[in-house]
Chains A and B, each alone.
Chain A
Amino acid sequence: MNAIVISAIWGVVMMFSGIFSKNNAVIRGTALTGLALLIVVNILDMNGTVLFKVNVHGMLYFDGFGLLFNTIAFGSTFLYTLLSGRDMEKVGHNLSDYFALIFFILCGISIASSFNTLLMLFLGIEIMSIPLYILTGTDKRNLKSNEAALKYFLMGSFSTGLMLMGIALIYGAKGSFSMEEIRLGASTLTPMLSAGLLLLLFSMSFKVSAAPFHFWTPDVYDGAPTVFTSFMATIVKAAAFIAFLRLFDDSFGELQPQWQLIVAIVTAATLVIGNITAVFQQSVKRMLAYSSIAQAGFMMFALVALNEMARQGLIFYAAAYSVATIGVFAVLIKMKDYTFEGFNGLAKRQPVLAATNAIFLLSLAGIPATAGFMAKFYMLAAAVNNGHVMWLVIVGVLCAAISVYYYFRVIQAMYFKDGDAQEMEVSPVFKGLLVVMAAIVVLLGIFPQWLLDKLYYFL
């Protein structure tokens, strides 16, 4: 509860901070303070200190899983703001508003990670999405940005409609919005319920950009200002996955044999389409958009497997993927040319940028000794443990090998090709932060226990 209230309050604080101060550094400082505060109160919440005792009538349910994810999301946002906060100023003049929107998104994330009724799920997802539509279009004078925002908004509204329809059908069948009461036994799948379940599956697949509902992703990610792409491709996407998993685990888990095949097919399609189209991209930004679809495919494994390992794995995946992707985007923003050629010879000019970027890319590719390997390991282990989807595991593995192709293209450009990569000015602090992020990636890869212990500790 702490995080929901504080993030909402701080969102308002950020709105007003723009009135009282025109100094960007102050605004950024306020935002960072708010994020630090969020992390602290959320950790307090995990330890049992609830600051706001609100009777939610069982509509929200706080457990270690959701709270730990919140901590990861807030921590990642903190790192993201430190790294890319300055680049937000380049998007437009309304810095305080951008931060306000980000805080509202975080509020939505905290609801989506702890919903206990379908209504709360809906609210959480919408609170998360609407500010995103706005952030996508913040670069007002850029046609691509406008188009992306419109596209995202229209498609998002459509999926919202699907979700509402699904919720209504399930309500019609079970007479309740509550997760506990909906909890479906193995034998009660009526046509109305299955229609509702499918609609929910489709709308959530849209939110996490799983194939075949992924078509908006590359255009939106490409059109949105790069700093915000970084945010929506990582933290928001991971949050949608947490909600997805909670929904299908808590409410529909016992029916898994009946929907597992559909989810498995969606997963396979996501993996194959995401990875293969990423291979053909000429711009690193678009490549990352497709790769985020591919990574979503790997996160879908948690849904297919649906066991304890999957829950741990998804938490770990969220952390590993967010940190690495924020890092890659932070480097990307500093480049003047977003094509692969734009990275040619970066290692000579900016060894720190290139080396840390290489570590992030290795992590995304899932090479051992990086967090990405452990994340993929957990996902594969969960799916193998499930036992019914070995074919999907093999598909996943082959796709992971394909992903090496496009991630390593950037490494090749940076290290092995000659050229003069043009980058913006980078400050020593920025480099230092990149090194810290890279260190997190490596440490999580070698000692994943540090993060996962928390899950057990707070459960």
Chain B
Amino acid sequence: MIPVLLIVVPLLSGLAAFFIKQEKGVKTWALLSTVITLAVSLLGLTLLNKAANLHTEVEWLPLLGSKFSVGLDGMGQILCLLTAVAFPMIFIATWNSSYKNARSFYAFMLLSQAGLMGVFLAFDALLFYFFWELALIPAYFLCSQWGGEKRIAVTFKFFIYTFVGSLLMLVGIIYLYLHTPDQSFAIESFYKAVLTSKEQGWLFWLFFIAFAIKMPVFPFHTWQPDTYEQSPTATTMVLSGVMVKMGLFGVMRWLAPVLPMATWLNGDTVGLLCVIGMIYASLIAMQQDDLKRLIAYSSIAHVGLMCMAIFVTSDQALQGVMIQMFNHGINIIGMWIVVELIERQLHTRKISELGGLAQKAPGLAIMLVVVALANVALPLTNAFIGEFLLFSGVFNSTVSKMSYVFAAAGGITIILSAVYTLNMIQRVFFGNTNTLTAGIQDIKFNERFVLGVLVIVILVIGVYPRPFLELTQGTVDTILSRMVIKHPS
């Protein structure tokens, strides 16, 4: 029941939003819908937390052996919670923004939420693919219609990139489906598919390219900075806060446990790609003058770290990734909100044109500093927990031959991340004001509320992460048991 509601509420309210005329009305409607979704998601975590409520399966395409099978496990819970939290936050934070043709904007936002929920909930490969694409289509319209100047070309690149990946994955899904013992798309059947190591080898790349493009991992990342820069900020928040998690999620649910042998064998290659991407993105981030591009590149570095950690296959690393997926979403949405606030008031994102904001907007500065420190993984913040687990997992990995290299490289990117983040804070918020920045006003109530909530979440997880870790332990165990069973000797 819970999973179905999580998909249906945003889907139906999104479709209905196309027909609401007034801008105020559609804003309220969208916010209301996402709050309901959030409530359902929280209910699923607490009151209705029983197996019967968390899984639904009905016939869909019996001839093909595909079922409408949705469910919540620990990883699903955490990502659905992220999706459910992110959207109301985004809507509240951008409440003061005005969009032309607002009803379509909010409708597409809600539809993309429905698609994202579906991705995280699906236990049937065809259904997963369905939602995977459905999350993409609204994003395409959102970026193309409401983005910056170069939006059309940039979004096109983004769409074709991801579509190529998706189609390759579709071929992989079909191949696996035809090799399941009972001709079904259920994930349980996928586990049972009989494959030679050669088949696993190329299937791995079919799936991995799709996920790598989405995350994005070097060298499939080139769409990302442009798209983040050109999209309307609300959409960028969805893309970077939630949508990149689709790639990580895909690897953990559909790649590593289904093709364990290939994952073991190719783990180091992928890890190396991630390392290259992390260092490269961090170095570029240091050179950026545009706030959006800076955060975009820093996101490539952070996601690369998580991707690398998945492939070293250890308990701690996977736990770290689970919690870090949530943390990264929260932190980066916080960063984007700050950018949005600056841009809306001053109409610029150039770091060189800003300065001294803290004098005029101390509230904003405090919030940003907390979020930014979380982004750098300072102790007591959420990302510290995630990255600590992640690093110790990488370090202690018995699978990867290059675990020390990976850990060292990861460490360097953390340092680089501190360099560019702190540098950015220094240049944007401190120093002297100029004629442009003197006019900035401090944050309003709704923005204060959202950033306040995010800061609280950051600190709470940073101090007391246990509930989150317990939630995902089961999923981690499942993944590991699947992967260890088929360890090539």
Contacts and interface: CB of A to CB of B under 8 A. Distances in A.
Interface of A: 362, 367-369, 373, 377, 380-381, 384-385, 393-394, 397-398, 400-401, 404-405, 408, 412, 415-417, 447-449, 452-453, 456
A311 B424 CA distance: 61
B130 A384 contact: no
Given A368-B134, A449-B61, A456-B63, A412 B163 contact: no
B63 A453 contact: yes
B160 A385 contact: no
Nearest to B147: A416
A367 B174 contact: no
Q: Range of interface residues on chain B? A: 20 to 34
Interface string B44-62: 0000000000000000011
Contact of A368 (B62, B133, B151, B177): B133
A135 B130 CA distance: 41
9 contacts: A368-B134, A381-B178, A384-B171, A397-B164, A397-B171, A401-B160, A412-B156, A449-B63, A453-B63
Contacts of B129: 368
Interface stretch (B137-145, B273-281, B325-333, B472-480): B137-145
B159 interface: yes
**Chain A to chain B: the 3 pairs with minimum beta-carbon distance, closest first:** A397-B167, A368-B133, A401-B164
Contacts of A415: 141, 144-145
A380 B145 contact: no
Interface string B169-180: 011001101100
A380 B61 CA distance: 17
Given A369-B130, A369-B134, A412-B156, A398 B63 contact: no
A67 to B, nearest CB: 19
B170 A377 contact: yes
Contacts of B62: 449
A456 B63 CA distance: 10
Interface of B: 61-63, 129-130, 133-134, 137, 141, 144-145, 151-152, 156, 159-160, 163-164, 167-168, 170-171, 174-175, 177-178
B168 A397 contact: yes
Contacts of A394: 168, 171
A368 B130 contact: yes
A404 B160 contact: yes
A449 B159 CA distance: 29
B183 to A, nearest CB: 10
Given A377-B174, A381-B174, A400 B167 contact: yes
A401 to B, nearest CB: 4
Nearest to B140: A408
Contact of A412 (B152, B170, B175): B152
Given A398-B167, A401-B160, A416-B144, 5 more contacts: A377-B170, A381-B174, A398-B164, A400-B167, A412-B156
A408 to B, nearest CB: 7
A404 to B, nearest CB: 6
B164 A380 contact: no
Contacts of A447: 61
B159 A404 contact: yes
Contacts of B152: 412, 416-417
With a 10 A CB-CB cut-off, give which of A367, A368, A380 has the most chain B CB atoms.
A368
B174 A384 contact: yes
B148 to A, nearest CB: 12
A448 B177 contact: no
Contact of A401 (B63, B134, B163, B174): B163
A452 B137 CA distance: 27
With a 10 A CB-CB cut-off, give which of A401, A405, A452 has the most chain B CB atoms.
A401
B175 A384 contact: yes
B116 to A, nearest CB: 15
A393 B169 CA distance: 12
With a 10 A CB-CB cut-off, give which of A377, A416, A447 has the most chain B CB atoms.
A416
Contacts of A369: 130, 133-134
Contacts of A417: 152
A380 B174 CA distance: 8
Contact of A405 (B63, B144, B160): B160
Nearest to B137: A367
A169 to B, nearest CB: 37
B144 A452 contact: no
B170 A408 contact: no
A416 B156 CA distance: 12
A393 B61 contact: no
Contact of B159 (A373, A397, A398, A408): A408
